[in-house]
A and B are shown apart, each in its own frame.
Chain A
Amino acid sequence: MPQPDLAGFADAQARLRDGFGELVTFRSAPSETYPPGTPLDPETGKPYDVTIVPTASGASEWIVKCDVAFRAINRAGIGGDSNPTPAGLFEESHIMLIANSAAASAAASAVQFDVRGDTFKITSRKFDGVGGVQRHLTYGRKE
């Protein structure tokens, strides 16, 4: 029985992403610094006193090339923005990014990403593949 060419399959997917993928900006949660001695809520990391402003804030960003996929609308309909395309009606509030496994670790600490002019909150992520792990999926929801 012929063995499937899994390495060739993975290579073909990577080349496809390289040719048709889009550059997605992943962003970490903003880290904020407060004046010394400020009592902070350990759960939220923010001051109990809502009037205190951070002395510094910033977020890290990474750019990863990914395939972008939207969810087709089912007959019952899904809430959120939808857009007719040649492939059918797609719901654009939920999105999935497909990236190379190696590239995914670069964005492991991200909490949101920007693609096609919109910002999405990362809801879950997992590795995926056929006969092994070849790609990394990131699911997002429009903020």
Chain B
Amino acid sequence: MAITREDLISQSVYDFVKAGVVARGYDAGKVEFRESFPYTVEEEQLSRSLVCVGFSFDNGGTPGELGSNLRLREYTIELFIFGKDQGWGRNLASAVKFTLDADGRIPVLNYADLAKPVIDYLVVESVASERQVIPDPEPYQENVWVVTAKVTDEYYADAV
């Protein structure tokens, strides 16, 4: 199987956010989740708000302890919220932020297994939301917020 550790982390964070936000009452009629940043939206005006995974990068990792290959790698995962209006954008960004914050950790699921068992946890270091001002926006880009989550993965380098 060629599912990397980072694939598992990205997918786990996305599924965690989606499940948590839906559990807060934001169902499919109100919010649509997308696994990638929408470079085009074929609508003049959004009929519902969007939550999309934007960009993901890491800090390169640091040694976890002397004498072993334990690594601590901090991932920065950005989620873009396209609100159908200003109120929705702000509200949904808060819902995403507090969903990520809620437990202080995010389960890492093994997507190579059909049962998707929990194999590890990510530590949530920080979650911040910020409005993005886009010059000359398309209609769907007028109410954009970015929620930036920093999570730390602790792993043995030879095990991934």
Are A and B physically bound partners? yes
In the complex the two chains form, is B3's CB within 8 Å of A49's CB? Answer: yes
Q: Which residue of A lies closest to B113 (CB)?
A: A39
* Residue among A43, A48, A123 making CB contact with B112, cutoff 8 Å: A48
Q: Say yes or no: is A44 at the interface (Cβ < 8 Å to chain B).
A: yes
Q: Which residue of B lies closest to A50 (CB)?
A: B2
Please give the distance in Å from B13's CB to the nearest CB on chain A: 14
Bound: A52/B111 CA distance, A: 14
Bound: A55/B9 CA distance, A: 28
In the complex the two chains form, is B112's CB within 8 Å of A39's CB? Answer: yes
Which residues of chain A are near B112, meaning CB under 8 Å? 39, 48-49
Of the A-B pairs whose beta carbons lie under 8 Å apart in the complex, a sample of 20, sorted by A's number, is A37-B114, A39-B111, A39-B112, A39-B114, A39-B116, A41-B11, A41-B35, A43-B33, A44-B35, A48-B7, A48-B11, A48-B111, A48-B112, A49-B1, A49-B2, A49-B3, A49-B112, A50-B2, A121-B42, A141-B42
Which residues of chain A are near B111, meaning CB under 8 Å? 39, 48
Q: Say yes or no: is A51 at the interface (Cβ < 8 Å to chain B).
A: yes
Please give the distance in Å from B50's CB to the nearest CB on chain A: 13
Interface string of B24-62 (1 = CB under 8 A from A): 000000000101000000100000000000000000000
Which residues of chain B are near A31, meaning CB under 8 Å? none
Q: Compute the total of residue contacts between A and B using a CB distance below 8 Å.
A: 26
Please give the distance in Å from B47's CB to the nearest CB on chain A: 12
Please give the distance in Å from B122's CB to the nearest CB on chain A: 18
Q: Say yes or no: is A60 at the interface (Cβ < 8 Å to chain B).
A: no
Q: Knowing that A39-B114, A41-B35, A44-B35 touch, tell me 7 more A-B residue pairs with CB under 8 angstroms.
A: A39-B113, A41-B11, A48-B3, A48-B111, A49-B3, A123-B42, A141-B42
The 6 tightest CB contacts between A and B, nearest first, are A123-B42, A48-B111, A51-B2, A49-B3, A49-B2, A39-B114
Q: Which residue of B lies closest to A42 (CB)?
A: B15
Which residues of chain B are near A37, meaning CB under 8 Å? 114
Q: Say yes or no: is A109 at the interface (Cβ < 8 Å to chain B).
A: no
Which A103-128 residues have a C-beta within 8 angstroms of B?
Answer: 121, 123-124
Please give the distance in Å from B27's CB to the nearest CB on chain A: 16
Which residues of chain B are near A50, meaning CB under 8 Å? 2
Which residues of chain A are near B113, meaning CB under 8 Å? 39
Q: Which residue of B lies closest to A51 (CB)?
A: B2
Bound: A48/B1 CA distance, A: 10
Q: Which residue of B lies closest to A37 (CB)?
A: B114
Which residues of chain A are near B1, meaning CB under 8 Å? 49
Which residues of chain B are near A44, meaning CB under 8 Å? 35
Q: Which residue of A lies closest to B14 (CB)?
A: A43
Which residues of chain A are near B33, meaning CB under 8 Å? 43
Which B85-140 residues have a C-beta within 8 angstroms of A?
Answer: 111-114, 116
Bound: A37/B114 CA distance, A: 7
In the complex the two chains form, is A124's CB within 8 Å of B42's CB? Answer: yes
